[in-house]
Structure 1
């Protein structure tokens, strides 16, 4: 399996679990926390973008594309420093990702003429945890795919 395929699969798994967590928190807090929905609202409420049809997939496509970008960055870090990821290293990467996510969303909300309404403080708290979930599951998925490939390679090349 090619590296890009493993990155995409890991990103889809991580982004999906992150988004499920965001859905659950949104329900519990009765506030909009789901990233693709918020992206769609930013697009829909923008004066600078063309009108989109109802229920367009832009937010979902962007959310999963950003997930792929994060996993590609993790792969680069993995090659340089994460040869053997530990819980601490994954927590650090997840925390850094969470901080990047929070700063990005703060900038998006601040720069937008009509940003969606939600409980910002609660959103940023759940976003931080969501990124740790994303990082842990994406890295674990990538590592599992890599380990499976290596064990298959060894088995067939004896």
Structure 2
């Protein structure tokens, strides 16, 4: 991975995380059910039991943690592109977003189960919002990557070209 693709991958992860966070917060506004991911993550990581209105430090931890995971997902997408697992297109971005949503639900369910003081929220609504938000994450992050780079020169394509020569 060259520096340009590295930076584009980070940017696409940040863009996807912004879109995902907006979906989680929009879900909370539309349903009246608490699904604010940075509040929950920050309060759980910092040990702040007031997850609906966490302190400043908890919010900072939540935002940094959430964006960090978003960038990690974006790098995972980059690896999957490079392995030829999926293409950089709309259909595959929905599929990879849905797969990411399933992974996120499993991780969050485990975290809620193992945490000493899990927040008392509607987990089913949280997981619905999380799944939908990850589909949006996949669409946005993949398409931001595609918009910025005309030819990503993915490893599997370079290997295919080398075999032809």
Q: Normalising by structure 1, what TM-score? A: 0.83
Alpha-carbon distance in structure 1 between the residues aligned to 2:85 and 2:143: 12
Alpha-carbon distance in structure 2 between the residues aligned to 1:35 and 1:148: 34
Give the conservation status (yes or no) of the 8 Å contact 2:20–2:133: yes
Question: Does 1:129 find its partner at 2:132?
Answer: yes
Shift of 1:14: 0.4
Runs of 4+ aligned structure 1 residues displaced above 6 Å come to none
Residues 37, 12 of structure 1: CA spacing in aligned structure 2 closer, same or farther, 3 A cutoff? same
Q: Which stretches in structure 2 are left out of the alignment for 5+ residues? A: 154-165
Q: Normalising by structure 2, what TM-score? A: 0.80
Q: Which stretches in structure 1 are left out of the alignment for 5+ residues? A: 48-52, 151-158
Give the conservation status (yes or no) of the 8 Å contact 1:46–1:114: no
Q: Tell me how many residue pairs correspond in the alignment.
A: 145
CA RMSD of aligned residues (A): 2.2
Q: Which has the higher contact order (CA 8 A, sep 6+)?
A: 1
Shift of 1:83: 6.7
Alpha-carbon distance in structure 1 between the residues aligned to 2:147 and 2:91: 18
Shift of 1:31: 2.1
Residues 149, 90 of structure 1: CA spacing in aligned structure 2 closer, same or farther, 3 A cutoff? closer
Shift of 1:28: 1.6
User: In the TM superposition, what whole-angstrom CA distance separates every residue of 1:60-115 from its partner, at most 9, and x where no partner exists?
Assistant: 00000000000000001111225743333222211110000000100110001111
Give the conservation status (yes or no) of the 8 Å contact 1:32–1:38: no
Shift of 1:135: 0.6
Question: Does 1:18 find its partner at 2:53?
Answer: no
